[in-house]
Structure 1
Amino acid sequence: MNRTAFSIVNSRVAFLAGGPGGAEAVPAGGRPDPGALLRQAQGGDAEAFAAVFETHRPLLYRIACRIVGADDADDVVMDTYLKAWRSIPSFRGAASLRTWLCRAVRNTALDRLRWRARRPASSPEPGGDDGGVGIEGVADSRERAPDRQAITEETGRAVAAAVAELSQEHRLALLLREVDGLSYREVAAATGSNVGTVMSRLFYARRRVRRILEAQGVTP
């Protein structure tokens, strides 16, 4: 998300909230306490909320890119920021804040897709842009042995092509898990699924990619 735009949105929130704050969340050592920041944000402190949101903003931007593409991702993150600010007082911690925000950005991204669908048919296909996050990263799975040789560019291209053959729902789950590093619960929140469905999609996606690569004689 563009930092200038983010600052403008944050200033708007701070104005609506009645001014800056956040000093109490910084202990003597100078490092903000996440729990204190969250409590202050829930109490209406706009600067504390901005600090909390900033921690998760890069991940939320990547999720938005996966769903709506890079052109609309900034708008989705901005809208998520404002919606989360309005809803943060009701956050009760049933899920982690990160999971809660993943769900929020997913819902906002779907709203954007619905809005886009009402526009002329010249809009790009949802999820077609990976937002600059390399799809080749799927080959660098967390399941790979530590001493395994680094993949070549040719192998990376083969993996990218194999992943591109997956359906949107399987590709999204795989990228969020293997490239963006989300937990199963966070992938579920970002895709509007339950954990069991996420695990099933990941199993299918990994098997499908592996079979495509094996048919080409490629070993990732």
Structure 2
Amino acid sequence: MEPGRRERCHEGARRRCPLDDAEFVSRARTGDLEAYEALVARHSAAAYRTAVLLGAGSDAEDVIQEAFVKGYRSLSRYRGASSFRSWLLAIVANETRNLHRSRSRRDGLALRMAAVSSGSAQVADGGVDAVLAGERRAALVRALRLLPVRDREVIVCRFFLDLSEDETVAMLGWPRGTVKSRTSRALAKLRDLLDREEVRSG
């Protein structure tokens, strides 16, 4: 089930449907900490992947903790125009940008680890296929790191985090047309970088 969406319950079902994000948010606004803890548990993995893929590296845990604290303090400003997940990931992205402004280096190893674990197809250990898959992932991460920050952000949102176009608009705070055009340009740049990588590696 996609985060934030209520399961459809069949009539007579004995099991209670899990609450959707809007209900948890509503309860959290009244001071129900358990409701907010449920939101944190539901979205922690996506928040962590977002922070790491956008370059937080070893500081990703600190970034998402700060984002969750700021999210709780800002619940009154969440209007429900976008999904709670995209609203929260926008805070994570902003905290990651703040981190970049306060330091000059990026942690490439953490980015590589995140790319491997962010939904890429898992390949059985051993064999030529596993080696080739590992090389492709490494090449993808190297190319991703060479993209300008805004290009990398839109690629991460659309293809690493599997956010919809609407969620990407909400998370990055860009107009829809900008998301569409930048996604197209960023993909073209990424393909070009991967082609160069392939030529270099023979």
Question: Normalised by the size of structure 2, how large is the TM-score?
Answer: 0.70
Residue 160 and residue 91 in structure 1: after superposition, are their counterparts in 2 closer, same or farther (change >3 A)?
Answer: closer
Write the letter of the residue equivalent to 1:52: L
**Alignment pair present for 1:54 and 2:41:** yes
What residue is the counterpart of 2:132 in the other structure? 152
What pairs up with 1:1-220 in 2 under 5 angstroms?
29-34=15-20, 35-114=22-101, 116-117=102-103, 123-125=104-106, 129-130=110-111, 132-134=113-115, 152-153=132-133, 154-214=135-195, 216=198
Residue 97 and residue 39 in structure 1: after superposition, are their counterparts in 2 closer, same or farther (change >3 A)?
Answer: same
Q: Which moved more, 1:47-56 or 1:167-176?
A: 167-176
What residue is the counterpart of 1:23 in the other structure? none
How big is each residue's C-alpha offset from its partner over 1:133-187, in whole Å with a ceiling of 9 and x where there is no partner? Answer: 22697987xxxxxxxx999324444434433332222122212211211122333
Residue 29 and residue 135 in structure 1: after superposition, are their counterparts in 2 closer, same or farther (change >3 A)?
Answer: closer
Contact 1:136 1:160 in 2 (8 A): no
How big is each residue's C-alpha offset from its partner over 1:13-71, in whole Å with a ceiling of 9 and x where there is no partner? Answer: xxxxxxxxxxxxxx972553124322211221010111022211111111112334222
Identical columns (%): 28
Paired residues in the alignment total 178
Residue 191 and residue 126 in structure 1: after superposition, are their counterparts in 2 closer, same or farther (change >3 A)?
Answer: farther
Question: Normalised by the size of structure 1, how large is the TM-score?
Answer: 0.65
Write the letter of the residue equivalent to 1:173: V
Segments of structure 1 that go 5 or more residues without pairing to the other structure are 1-26, 118-122, 141-148
**What RMSD over aligned residues (CA atoms) do the two structures have, in Å?**
3.4
